[in-house]
Structure 1
Amino acid sequence: MSRYPSHLSPNITPTNRARVREPSGVFSLFQPQQIQQFKEAFSLIDQDRDGLVGEQDLKDTFASLGIVPSADMMEEMLTSRPGEHGGSQPSAVEDPRDRGINFAMFLTMMSEHLFEFDPEAELVEAFSSFDESDSGTVRCDEIRKWLGETGDRMSQAEIDRFLKGSFTDRQGNFNYKEWVKVLRVNEDDNDTEAQT
């Protein structure tokens, strides 16, 4: 018997326990402005604004991107849970009401992916997709086209600043492998300064 009145007791049953038990420390991993950005991203996906990214939310989001997801892909996204990204099989979600992801789960999953992210390898891989000869360089006109026309488009002034300097040779090639190495050194120096 609870020492609190029944109307004050939480309604935790086996079917809704998964939604209630979330890693609360995940919010301490991010700055408030980062959490706000994740909230904005989550709200873009949670189109019905019910606090849970469900099947229809995912279908609508994919449709807006011109993507038709497979049934397996949808099932994996709806039933995946934090802590399952390392190649393990997703746990079975038996209750249809437990399908989907709330914001705390979303934030936890984002933290898992961000903390395993190796910026150097990711950047080299991204640039190497344009480097057919595996020379470590990419034509500046290709970079200019992609940075100005896709994703978070950069202005011409931003692209000029990016391509200006010692990483671009006279033939118009950008040495991305050297640029990434310098980024890593600068990042390591900033981390060292922050610790002192």
Structure 2
Amino acid sequence: MPKKQKKRRKKASDNVFDLFTQFQVAQFKEGFQLMDRDKDGKLGPDDLDWTHKHVNLPTTDEKIGIMLADSPTAINFTMLLSMFAEKASGEQDDDDVIIKGFKTFANAEGKIDAPALRVALTCFADKFTKEEADDALEMFQVKDGFLDHALIVKLLTGPAGDDDEEAKEEEE
């Protein structure tokens, strides 16, 4: 039997500007310039406080401090772009991690108890909101209180054979 080939992910560029279109970068730049009220080239507490008030979002000094602490350095335009890219991208688990994760919930017939999965989704690790859990369970097609493990895996990892197509694309 041939050795199973691990799915290769496309490597993200080290240059954050390559992750967005020119139009998107221009939009982010315009937003940054609007938020940078003191025009010092970085976003500070006063800039964020003004921005929140300007768009009618309630905030506190504590929340602003938490936002600023999300950045390892002062938030200049490049750092802001990096933060957006990080938040937008999320990390992807390899298919085998997804398969094993859902397999832990499956019974001998390959069925997953929907209420038990809802509790896990909303109470542990990166917690889902009630709405996110509802959306996920709807997508996973609950039948008689159970989900089909194989269907969930297919929805989250794609149909079998995608590995070969991705490998061919990367070789070209």
TM-score by length of 1: 0.39
Q: Which has the higher contact order (CA 8 A, sep 6+)?
A: 2
